[in-house]
Amino acid sequence: MKNLTRNKVIVIAGPTAVGKTALSIQLAQAYNGEIINGDSQQVYREVHIGTAKATAEEQAMAPHHLIDVRDLTERFSAHDFVTAANSLIAEISLRGKLPIIVGGTGLYLQSLIEGYHLGGSGHHDEMRDLRQLLEKKTDTELFSELSAHNIKLPELNRRRAIRALEIATFGEGLTNQASDYDFLILGLNADRKILYERINHRVDVMMSDGLLAEAKFLYEQFPVAQVSRAIGYKEFFPYFEGEIALDAAVDAVKQNSRRYSKRQITWFKNRMSVAFEDVFADDFQANIAKKIERFLDDRN
């Protein structure tokens, strides 16, 4: 097991069906880690298939958190996630474990990592441009910028330096404090054709596992619940009302899931500047291991 430094957090981000769950379990086992769910729907009890939760067998392979923590009648926001995730990160770190956040809800992950809620800023494009500019600077250039703004950091850390410069530029719209943790974001992606095939196949498997019954349960018992509006459930409501055929509803789930995966990739690229690794590339495992080793050995 690794002798981990404090305040290190790994984030596994990427589109639906790309393989985030499998990698998170693999890394938790290899690096003495515990997994924190970063998906907005998996927090809800009683719905497991359409939310693509890790199975009971998968959850038994590594500690999981923030799964099944809300009733279907309750709401769960980005603020709720940030509060809960920060508390869990602190607890896991104090136990000498490595926190691993896995999920595809970009708003949640960015709100945690960048320390602000996007609703509080009207400068998304400008912030993205500034971020891209700062990330291209060398350490010397970056910390020269800090000096020019009379900003002093207690330690040399590129992410915190960039965040501090963003706050100096767009402080009016950034309502939250930057995180005290150092994050490594592992972006997972795949060739679009392969990814879409995986999405279609996963929906077929979900149907075999009882997705229709789960959707009907929501339709009959919790039609206005937050999770009932999620992809994988809402598409069946017109079927239950006799408006469309079942095949059309299933096709709609697949199509909406594919479109959602594209939006996820766009969010992570444009809003968070995530560099993606192809999960089917021959050097995928080696690249991931190299990034993690470098990150955990970084004493910044």
Q: Which residues face 98 on adjacent strands?
A: 33
Q: Is 14 annotated as a binding residue?
A: yes
**DSSP strand E in the chain: where?**
8-13, 33-37, 64-65, 98-103, 182-189, 276-278
Q: Is 18 annotated as a binding residue?
A: yes
Neighbours of 148 (CB within 10 A): 10
d(C-alpha 91, C-alpha 99), whole Å = 9
Task: Spell out the residues 6+ positions from residue 208 whose beta carbon is closer than 8 angstroms to its own.
Answer: none
Q: Is 63 annotated as a binding residue?
A: no
Tokens 């609703």 map to which residue? 119
Whether residue 43 contacts residue 88, with contact meaning beta carbons closer than 8 Å, is answered with: no
Q: Is 69 annotated as a binding residue?
A: no
d(C-alpha 100, C-alpha 93), whole Å = 11
> What H or E segment, with its residue span, contains residue 272?
helix 246-272
Count of alpha carbons within 13 angstroms of residue 230, beta-carbon side: 25
Q: Is 50 annotated as a binding residue?
A: no
**DSSP structural state of residue 44:** B
Write the CA distances from 187 to 25, 101, 109, 148, 210, integer angstroms: 16, 12, 12, 33, 30
Dihedral sign, Cα of residue 204, residue 206, residue 210, residue 212: negative
Q: Is 104 annotated as a binding residue?
A: no
Task: Spell out the residues 6+ positions from residue 182 whose beta carbon is closer than 8 angstroms to its own.
Answer: 7, 8, 9, 157, 159, 160, 295, 298, 300
Task: Please enumerate, by residue number, every residue annotated as part of a binding site for ATP.
Answer: 14-21
Task: Please enumerate, by residue number, every residue annotated as part of a binding site.
Answer: 14-21
Task: Please enumerate, by residue number, every residue annotated as part of a binding site for substrate.
Answer: 16-21
